[in-house]
Amino acid sequence: MIKNNIFLTGSIGIGKSTIIRKVINQLSLHVCGFSVDREGKKNNWNAFYLVEASSFNNGDRSKKSKYNRFAFRNDYSTNWEINIQVFNEIGVKLLTNIDNADIVIMDELGRFELTAYQFQQKVYEVLNSDKPVLGVIKDESNPFLDKIRNRKDVQIFRVLPDNREEVYKKVLSQIKLILSIKE
């Protein structure tokens, strides 16, 4: 059985999103879905935003505002303020109307959406569809992420410093195969 839903996992900054971007560009894919944009310094972020996955294609990752900011903190020592409605409204919208896309991007699924139940349901709905999914899944355990990991139609690649190019080639090959079967 070909697994239609492919996720990358690994440590922060290892190159997971870069692999997705390379696959999209190599195959000139029309994408939909979402990506996460950040503010702050690596491992010391202070805000996260949900943005359209099409920003992968056009390089425009500047669409950050209070309306699509789902997590915020004043500094590294304070707790995150989470806006679940960003997931349940914008996230759901970005995962709707997927028919015209070649592939759905989910970059990335993590812990902030643990109580965004409408968003979670939409993620499951898309994973159940015949539309291929390419995404990133945070390298930690929680009920939402574990439910995705345990699906029989999900394949997960762990990205490490010494296997990035190999993972890219495997994902590229897998996506080509999935898309050729769909035609």
Specify if 107 maps to a domain: yes
Q: Is the peptide bond before 108 cis (omega within 30 degrees of 0)?
A: yes
**Mean pLDDT along residues 83-107:** 96
With cut-offs at 50, 70 and 90, classify the pLDDT of residue 16. Answer: very high
Do 64 and 52 form a contact (C-beta atoms < 8 A)? no
Domain that holds residue 164: 5-34+84-182
For 145-174, write each residue's pLDDT tens digit: 999 999 999 999 999 999 999 999 999 999
Q: In whole angstroms, what is the distance from residue 87 CA to residue 69 CA?
A: 10
- 52 part of a folded domain: no
Distance CA 107, CA 1 (A): 24
- Give the count of domains, the chain: 1
pTM: 0.93
Question: Residue type at 54?
Answer: S
Rounded to the nearest integer, the mean pLDDT of the chain is 92
**CATH number of the domain to which 21 belongs:** 3.40.50.300
Would residue 69 count as lying in a domain? no
Region label for 25, one of left (φ > 0), alpha (ψ between -120 and 50) or beta (otherwise): alpha
Amino acid at the residue 123 = V
Asked if 53 and 33 count as a contact pair (C-beta separation under 8 A), the reply is yes
